[in-house]
Structure 1
Amino acid sequence: MNYIGIDLGTSAVKLLLMEGSGKILKIVSREYPICFPKPGWSEQNPYDWFTQSMDGLKELLDGTDRSLVAGISFGGQMHGLVALDDKDEVIRPAILWNDGRTTKECDYLNQVIGKERLSAYTANISFTGFTAPKVLWMKNNEPENFAKIHKIMLPKDYLAFRLSGNYSTDVSDASGTLFFDVKNRCWSEEMCEICSIKTSWLPKVYESYEEVGTLLPELAKELGVSDQVKIVAGAGDNAAAAVGTGTVGDGACNISLGTSGTVFISSDKFGVDENNALHSFDHADGSYHLMGCMLSAASCNKWWMDDIIGTKDYGAEQENITKLGENHVFFLPYLMGERSPHNDPNARGTFIGLTMDTTRADMTQAVLEGVAFALRDSFEVARSLGIHIARTRICGGGAKSPLWKKIVANVLNIPVDIPENEQGPSMGGAMLAAVACGEYPTVRDAAETIVKLTDTVEPEPELAAKYEERYQKFRKIYPACRDLFLELAK
């Protein structure tokens, strides 16, 4: 049988058709707009997700045996607030994961309610990107819209709702709402009360590999597939990417170099970083994970190339970078503020160390290195907890760059394994669908069978030592700028 994975990303939806063996048959993509109504705000129209996904499904299935499609599942951008009224209509544009408008609400949750209480209820503290402070922002700033709320959904779950007619979410995505008791894998009644919402507003929670319904008959007819196609809960994009790269089981690690950047560490045991610098979430394989998330990763390079330099030839720009570990320019990659480990929505992108002999290549290199250094910040938190990370896998658009992978391997000073298929969340979604349909008994079995490694980038001792020295300088820059960022934000 065949399985479809839908990666509902920030800039586009990617759809992947996979055989039960793991062979990828076809991939298509559809873009949709993102709106920035005010500095630091980020919104999208959920209807665009559905219409572009349906168009993408039609292209994906064109020329294939549609009778073989057994299941559809998802990996999706996390934390976004989709609010529906009692007629299941979208009340306002979705507020996305990288939206920074909720500073006051986060301060209220972290300072007034208290980080200790939040961590006790949810295993996490409040970040501006999380869903709960967005709901509070609606209550405080759009009371007329807040009064209309009948359901609160996450982006991929809105898509699952439109396909199946059922309200659902999965444990990994729910973990990033701040409404969820991660340890016990259920909604937190205490957090619902704190945020003045009804538990009935929240969808039913499933494990990522569980069926939430079947494809609506009218959509099945439109797509030319069976109305018995299973719609499977899926996972937040990072957990889905981890499944797609085989990052399951205790101590496995994956780095995602997508629009955002993540360090994902799988664990059989529930655990919380006492400073909450890392997120403690449920994993799509039925276990747990710790995750460090930076809001701007590959998007930093896209901004630098597209908007500043004005080129789409990323490879050509990187060809001029030859002196790794010796750059005198540093870059803070905080273009949308930052989450892990600083939790500072006022942080901003910053170049420092520019001189009259600074070149275009130096600044391009600084962008790539700044993202790698920021990823290491999360590694350092994990190491402070006694977690030994011997190696990591990598995925995402940035992982297509051999130079960037080399920089990451040496900044972290560990081997970086390259999966055969770097499709991340869409591959993970298809694998979760296969598990739900009985193709594999568990997510781990699916990962062990399907995921293959093609290469490993080993760190070079001399270069790693140079980057160690550079990183120790990098980590001093944000503390020196923190108070200035706050002043500039006023």
Structure 2
Amino acid sequence: MYYIGIDLGTSAVKLLLMDSNGEIKNIVSKEYPLYFPHPGWSEQNPVDWWKQAMAGLKELLAEFDKTKVAGISFGGQMHGLVTLDENDHVIRPAILWNDGRTGAETEYLNIVIGKEKLSEYTANIAFAGFTAPKILWMQKQEPELWKKTAKIMLPKDYLAYQFSGSFCTDYSDASGMLLLDVKNKCWSEQMLEICGVKEFQLPKLYESYEVVGTIKPELAKELGVSENVKIVAGAGDNAAAAVGTGTVGAGKCNISLGTSGTIFISSDHFTVDPVNALHSFDHADGGYHLMGCMLSAASCNKWWMDEILQTKDYAGEQTGISKLGENQVFYLPYLMGERSPHNDPDARAMFLGMSMNTMRQDMTQAVLEGVAFGLRDSLEVARSQGIEVQCSKICGGGAKSPLWQKIIANVMNLTLEIPKNEEGPGLGAAMLAAVGCGEYASAAEACEKLVKTKAVIAPDPVLVEKYEERYQKFKKLYPAVKGVLGES
């Protein structure tokens, strides 16, 4: 049988076809626009997601026996606010995870309601990208549109709704709304009251591997698949990527270098970061995880290459970079503000330490190192709580760079395991579909049987020492420049 994973990303939807043995049979990617109507804002049209997902599915299955498709599941960009009216029409463009408009609402939640209460209700505090502040913003700035809101959903769940008619979400994705009682896996009555949300406006909650419905008959006919194809809840992109890399169960770690960057530490028991610098979320395997998220990771390198150097030769620009740990140029990777651990939507990127001797390669190296240092900030929070991480999986577009892999291994002093299949959320979603269809008994069993390691990168003690010195300087930079730049 075949299982389909749909990874609804920020720049494109990627569709992956996997067979019962975990072999990837086909991958298709379809792009859609990203809109920035005001500085710091980030939006997309959910209808674009759906159109491209359907177009991608037809292309994905064109050369395969469509009757063998058993299940479809999802990995998706988290936190986005999708609103539908009573006729299921999209009310306004989705406000995305990397949107920074909700500074006032975030401050209200953290200061007026209070971080302690938020953490008690949801295990997290408010961040500008979370869904709850977006709801408050919409109520204040677009009250007429808010009055029309009958359904509130997350990006991937819009696709699940279109496929099945099931108004659903999963615990891992819902964890990032600031509306979920993460510990008890239910909607928080207190947060719904604070945010003026009725429970009927929110989707039914499922584990990531649970079946939420079957494909609509008319879609089955259009795609040429069986009407018995199961639609499985899926997971937020980072939890789905963790499944795709085998990061399930206690004490496992995954680093993702996508548009955003994350460090994801799985656990079989509920844990809260006392200072709330890390997110405490439910995991797609039925357990829990701590996660640090930086808003700009591989997107920093994309910006540097595409917009500044105006080249697509990413690998070529990294050729010749050899003096690791000795670069005098620093880069703060805050193009869209920052979430973990600083929680500052007004933080901005900058280069520091240039001299007359600074060359193009030094700047490129600084970008790669700045992202690694930013990820280490979150790792240090975990370490300060006694969480020991010795090795990590790594995935995402940026993780395809051998140089970046080496930098991260030495900046973070971690052994990196490179998965044989580096498809992250799409593969994880397909694996969840297989679990939902009974191909595997659990996410853990699917990971044990399907996830293989193709390479291991061990840190070099000499480089670790050099980067330790550089990191100690890096972590002083943000406090020194905080408040100098940002929205006026």
The TM-score with structure 1 as length reference comes to 0.99
Match of residue 163 from structure 1: 163
Match of residue 427 from structure 1: 427
The residue type paired with residue 487 of structure 2 is A
Match of residue 148 from structure 2: 148
Match of residue 277 from structure 1: 277
Aligned-pair distance for 1:139? 0.3
Aligned-pair distance for 1:7? 0.2
Answer with 319-328 or 471-480: which moved more: 319-328
Q: Secondary structure at the match of 1:306?
A: helix
Q: Secondary structure at the match of 2:317?
A: helix
1:402-449 Cα shifts (integer Å, max 9, x gaps): 000000000011100000000000000000000000000010000000
Q: Secondary structure at the match of 2:78?
A: coil
Match of residue 489 from structure 1: 487
Match of residue 75 from structure 1: 75
Q: Matches of 1:489 and 1:155 in 2, distance apart? A: 27
Residues 1:41 and 2:41 aligned together: yes
Aligned-pair distance for 1:94? 0.2
Structure 2 contact 347–483 (Cα < 8 Å) conserved:
no
The residue type paired with residue 286 of structure 1 is G
Aligned-pair distance for 1:356? 1.1
Q: Secondary structure at the match of 1:408?
A: helix
Aligned-pair distance for 1:357? 1.2
The residue type paired with residue 156 of structure 1 is K
Q: Secondary structure at the match of 1:476?
A: helix
Aligned-pair distance for 1:478? 0.2
Q: Matches of 1:189 and 1:202 in 2, distance apart? A: 12
Match of residue 209 from structure 1: 209
Match of residue 314 from structure 2: 314
Residues 1:250 and 2:260 aligned together: no
1:34-183 matches, within 5 Å, as: 34-183=34-183
Match of residue 287 from structure 1: 287
Q: Matches of 1:218 and 1:361 in 2, distance apart? A: 54
1:3-14 matches, within 5 Å, as: 3-14=3-14
Q: Matches of 2:220 and 2:467 in 1, distance apart? A: 54
Structure 2 contact 254–264 (Cα < 8 Å) conserved:
yes
The residue type paired with residue 6 of structure 1 is I
Match of residue 16 from structure 1: 16
Q: Matches of 1:222 and 1:468 in 2, distance apart? A: 57
1:54-78 Cα shifts (integer Å, max 9, x gaps): 0000000001011110000000000
Q: Secondary structure at the match of 2:321?
A: coil
Q: Secondary structure at the match of 1:14?
A: strand
Q: Secondary structure at the match of 2:390?
A: coil
Structure 2 contact 261–298 (Cα < 8 Å) conserved:
yes
Residues 1:348 and 2:345 aligned together: no
The residue type paired with residue 314 of structure 2 is Y
Aligned-pair distance for 1:255? 0.2
Q: Matches of 2:414 and 2:246 in 1, distance apart? A: 18
Q: Matches of 1:190 and 1:201 in 2, distance apart? A: 15
Match of residue 462 from structure 1: 462
Structure 2 gaps, min length 5: none
Aligned-pair distance for 1:189? 1.0
Q: Secondary structure at the match of 2:177?
A: coil
Q: Matches of 1:170 and 1:343 in 2, distance apart? A: 25
1:196-216 Cα shifts (integer Å, max 9, x gaps): 111110000000000000000
Q: Secondary structure at the match of 2:356?
A: coil
The residue type paired with residue 118 of structure 1 is L
The residue type paired with residue 4 of structure 2 is I
Aligned-pair distance for 1:20? 1.1
Aligned-pair distance for 1:483? 2.8
The residue type paired with residue 489 of structure 1 is E
Q: Secondary structure at the match of 2:176?
A: coil
Match of residue 418 from structure 1: 418
Structure 2 contact 329–352 (Cα < 8 Å) conserved:
yes
1:136-178 Cα shifts (integer Å, max 9, x gaps): 0000100011111100000000000000011000000000000
The residue type paired with residue 189 of structure 1 is E
The residue type paired with residue 196 of structure 1 is G
Which segments of structure 1 move beyond 6 Å, counting only runs of 4 or more? none
Q: Matches of 1:145 and 1:127 in 2, distance apart? A: 23
Q: Matches of 1:245 and 1:456 in 2, distance apart? A: 14
Answer with 334-343 or 320-329: which moved more: 320-329
Q: Secondary structure at the match of 1:16?
A: strand
Match of residue 375 from structure 1: 375
Structure 2 contact 82–94 (Cα < 8 Å) conserved:
yes
Aligned-pair distance for 1:320? 2.4
The residue type paired with residue 166 of structure 1 is S
Q: Matches of 2:281 and 2:246 in 1, distance apart? A: 18
Q: Matches of 1:483 and 1:409 in 2, distance apart? A: 31
Q: Matches of 2:143 and 2:53 in 1, distance apart? A: 31
1:259-288 Cα shifts (integer Å, max 9, x gaps): 000000000110101110000000000000
Answer with 287-296 or 313-322: which moved more: 313-322
The residue type paired with residue 407 of structure 1 is I
Q: Matches of 1:10 and 1:293 in 2, distance apart? A: 15
Coordinate RMSD, CA, aligned? 0.5
Q: Matches of 2:290 and 2:346 in 1, distance apart? A: 24
Match of residue 192 from structure 1: 192
Match of residue 472 from structure 1: 472
Q: Matches of 1:385 and 1:250 in 2, distance apart? A: 16
Aligned-pair distance for 1:489? 2.5
